[in-house]
A = this chain, B = another copy of it.
């Protein structure tokens, strides 16, 4: 897989798609963006990435309003909301040739499976975005920190694709790396997302540092992490118990960061409740566990987010 000359499509050009696709394009890759609400602005003003004091502008963006206009591609980065996965049934086929790789950068569990069922598991890879981003306006994405991007094949085997993708991202300034065991990586990410994304909403709109500063929320965050780790281990995805401490420590540097789900909630956007909380809960139950904190949080979030007109 030669990424230097690859045609890359980005489906879903919000914060995640704009940032990771934008970095690849800024490094010279041939990146085609499917855009909806941002299309007009980006065609006029380009795509802007802000990182600390730096502002990078991709002046000429290959931005399109349909995947038919983009056509068959070598790599498709998928970054739409998981709540809109049904749209992929129509969006993906025009992008496919025989060896097209589908790389989901989406949150939570179930996305690789969704693509695999429809387009074949061998095509599917997943990437996990450990990153603090917000799209602050049309065509403008701000990067607040982190950015680690583990990439792995959905099916077991050695395709070389995760390594090639990781290398391309690295040359574009992204801290990417190939991983052997994508499923375990997804669960490791959930150890953070489940408590922090969830409690930020359930506690009435609070930031990461608010969760950590409050004795009660920090205790609940830790209890949720322990439940997620136990579920992962029961499902054969080995995560050490002290990974929870590591995640708490890592979060201390984030400050008053608003997790993406809270940003969605505050903007009355759809929150990805099923992929982040619902699917992990169902899998834990299948493994015979009863993660009560996770269930309580999931059910409260279903109620709280159903008001936003989602």
* Chain A contact residues, CB within 8 Å of chain B: 199, 202-204, 214-217, 219-220, 223-224, 227, 290-297, 299-300, 302-304, 306-307
- Evaluate contact between A217 and B295: CB separation under 8 angstroms: no
Copies of this chain present in the complex amount to 2
- Which chain B residues border A292 with CB–CB below 8 Å? 223, 227, 290-296
A160 to chain B, nearest CB (A): 43
- Evaluate contact between A299 and B216: CB separation under 8 angstroms: yes
Known contacts being A292-B290, A292-B291, is A299 close to B202, with CB within 8 Å? Answer: no
- Evaluate contact between B227 and A299: CB separation under 8 angstroms: no
- Which chain B residues border A299 with CB–CB below 8 Å? 216-217, 219-220, 223
Give CA–CA (A122, B210) in the complex, Å: 47
- Which chain B residues border A215 with CB–CB below 8 Å? 302
- Which chain B residues border A204 with CB–CB below 8 Å? 303-304, 307
Give CA–CA (A216, B217) in the complex, Å: 22
- Which chain B residues border A219 with CB–CB below 8 Å? 299
- Evaluate contact between A220 and B300: CB separation under 8 angstroms: yes
- Evaluate contact between A296 and B203: CB separation under 8 angstroms: no
Give CA–CA (A215, B306) in the complex, Å: 11
Given A203-B304, A223-B292, 14 more pairs with CB closer than 8 A: A202-B202, A204-B303, A204-B307, A214-B303, A216-B303, A217-B299, A219-B299, A220-B300, A223-B295, A292-B292, A292-B293, A293-B293, A293-B295, A296-B296
A265 to chain B, nearest CB (A): 12
- Evaluate contact between A302 and B216: CB separation under 8 angstroms: yes
Give CA–CA (A286, B214) in the complex, Å: 25
- A202, A292, A306 — which one has the most chain B CB atoms within 10 A of its CB? A292
Q: Which of B220, B223, B224, B295 contacts A220 (CB 8 A)?
A: B295
Q: Which of B290, B297, B302, B307 contacts A296 (CB 8 A)?
A: B297
Give CA–CA (A215, B302) in the complex, Å: 9
A214 to chain B, nearest CB (A): 6
Closest to A217 in B: B303
- Which chain B residues border A302 with CB–CB below 8 Å? 215-216
- Which chain B residues border A216 with CB–CB below 8 Å? 299-300, 302-303, 306
Give CA–CA (A297, B300) in the complex, Å: 10
- A202, A290, A294, A300 — which one has the most chain B CB atoms within 10 A of its CB? A300
Closest to A307 in B: B204
- Evaluate contact between A203 and B303: CB separation under 8 angstroms: yes
- Which chain B residues border A307 with CB–CB below 8 Å? 204
A220 to chain B, nearest CB (A): 4
A202 to chain B, nearest CB (A): 6
Give CA–CA (A302, B216) in the complex, Å: 7
